[in-house]
Amino acid sequence: MDFISKLPGQELSIFSVMSKMAKEQNAINLAQGFPNFDCDPTLIELVHKNMTAGHNQYAPMAGTIQLRNQIAKKIKLLYNIEVDPLSEVTITTGATQAIYNSIQTVVHTGDEVIVIEPAYDSYVPAIKMCGGTAVSYSMKGPDFKINWEKLGAMINSKTKMIIINTPHNPTATRLDQQDLQTLSDLLADTNIYLLSDEVYEHLVYDEQSHISAMQFPDLYKRSFITYSFGKTFHATGWKIGYLVSPPDLTAEFRKIHQFTVFSVNTPVQLALATYMQTPEHYQQLPQFYQQKRDLFLEAMQGSPLKALPSAGTYYTLFDYSAISDKKELDFVTDLTYNAKVAAIPVSAFYADHVENQVIRLCFAKRDDTLLEAARRLSTL
Ligand SMILES: Cc1ncc(COP(=O)(O)O)c(C=O)c1O
């Protein structure tokens, strides 16, 4: 069959490539961002209970009211902000679908979307699929900061949306109050939408707090904010997340949501709603992951790989310039074959494969896995 590809030149995602290589080489997979420990048995029990109680048919299109209520309660508790669970919260099949739908909701052919690179890999294909153009703002190592003035200079009459991600995958940096205030000022007199990907909201370390686009009224009115229960509750395979957005944007989002997935699986939604009644389940996450980060960094002190600061997410970047001048993809390939540890080249998060000589390692792993990976990396 002849066809015109909607994503010509699109390669297999780097996560699939590295996970496959890790398996083939019997290497420890610190590449893809998923835990190698199980989620809380209580949560599994709750899903089971809801299934056996017969909650196995379609959920309401926007999500069960029980889960949306709990999300609104969490937002009130964490940020002291009231969102209406009926008109501002929508349950999605992972953050990925929330991101895809948000872009579909507002981007038309010919529109430009500013993407801050290195960027999570689903943003650009989603923009292309609605005929938009992704315009890259490139952050450079080692600090990977945004110069808002330079980013502001990229705005023009075609700019429809800006995408931010905080805490940030892959650089493990986070935006602070000043960053979001500056962005708010920058967008104040424009009709530009904001997609704020906050899937790592609970993974912020060193006594700092996550700052959300929701906390800035002039940002929130133009925002699609995306979250992931997979990241939060160690269950990435469940593919369930949500969107928080003001009522007018949510109404438009749902027009598309109802024809992409219609609704998300019922027993998991009901289980999560019960599980979230105990706020400790998400409040203890920074401590849980900070302990893993610190254990790993301590063990890595014997390695020639130099850690960059990890302020949030469950990743740390490592600079390997002291031991190799190879390109990042070649370096991680060597690492997988020889040291038997798989990592992600940060260059894969740039459209132009910018090289910083840094790789990303995921520390959402059991302590014994982290210690064994660090031991292997210390022999480099
Ligand atoms: C920044 C970012 N956004 C979105 C996602 C996707 O989340 P989900 O698995 O809930 O679709 C990921 C997953 O790695 C991510 O790192």
Q: At what angle do helices 266-275 and 41-52 cross, to 10 degrees?
A: 130
To test the pocket of ligand 1, the residue of 116, 200, 226, 228 to mutate (highest count of ligand atoms within 8 Å of its CB) is 228
**Does residue 120 have its Cβ closer than 6 Å to ligand 1?**
yes
What's residue 237's pLDDT? 96
With a 6 Å cutoff on the Cβ, whether 312 touches ligand 1 is no
For the Cβ of 225 lying below 6 angstroms from any atom of ligand 1, the answer is no
Q: Is 223 in the pocket of ligand 1 (CB under 6 A)?
A: no
pLDDT value, residue 11: 84
* pLDDT tier at 9, thresholds 50, 70, 90: confident
What percentage of the chain reaches a pLDDT higher than 70? Answer: 100
Answer yes or no: is the C-beta of 199 below 6 A from any ligand 1 atom: yes
pLDDT tens track for 161-213: 999 999 999 999 999 999 999 999 999 999 999 999 999 999 999 999 999 99
Nearest atom in ligand 1 to the alpha carbon of residue 313 is 16
Q: Is 227 in the pocket of ligand 1 (CB under 6 A)?
A: no
Query: Could you tell me the distance, in angstroms and rounded to a whole number, from the CA of residue 102 to the centre of ligand 1?
Result: 14
Pick from 227, 229, 225, 224: nearest CA to 265? 229
- Hey, what domains does the chain have and what are their CATH numbers? 14-32+284-377 (3.90.1150.10), 57-279 (3.40.640.10)
DSSP sequence for 16-80 = HHHHHHHHHTT-EE-SSS--SSPPPHHHHHHHHHHHHTT--SPPPTT--HHHHHHHHHHHHHHH-
Lowest mean pLDDT of 7-21, 178-192, 301-315, name the range: 7-21
Which protein residue's CA is at the shortest distance from atom 7 of ligand 1? Answer: 95
Q: What is the pLDDT of residue 193?
A: 98
- Ligand 1 atom with least separation from CA of 227: 10
Mean confidence (pLDDT) of the chain: 97
To test the pocket of ligand 1, the residue of 29, 231, 242, 315 to mutate (highest count of ligand atoms within 8 Å of its CB) is 231
pTM of the model: 0.97
Determine if ligand 1 sits within 6 Å of the CB of residue 230. yes
Pocket flag, ligand 1, residue 329 (CB < 6 Å): no
Q: Which residues touch 46 (CB under 8 Å, ≥6 apart)?
A: 270, 271, 272, 274, 275
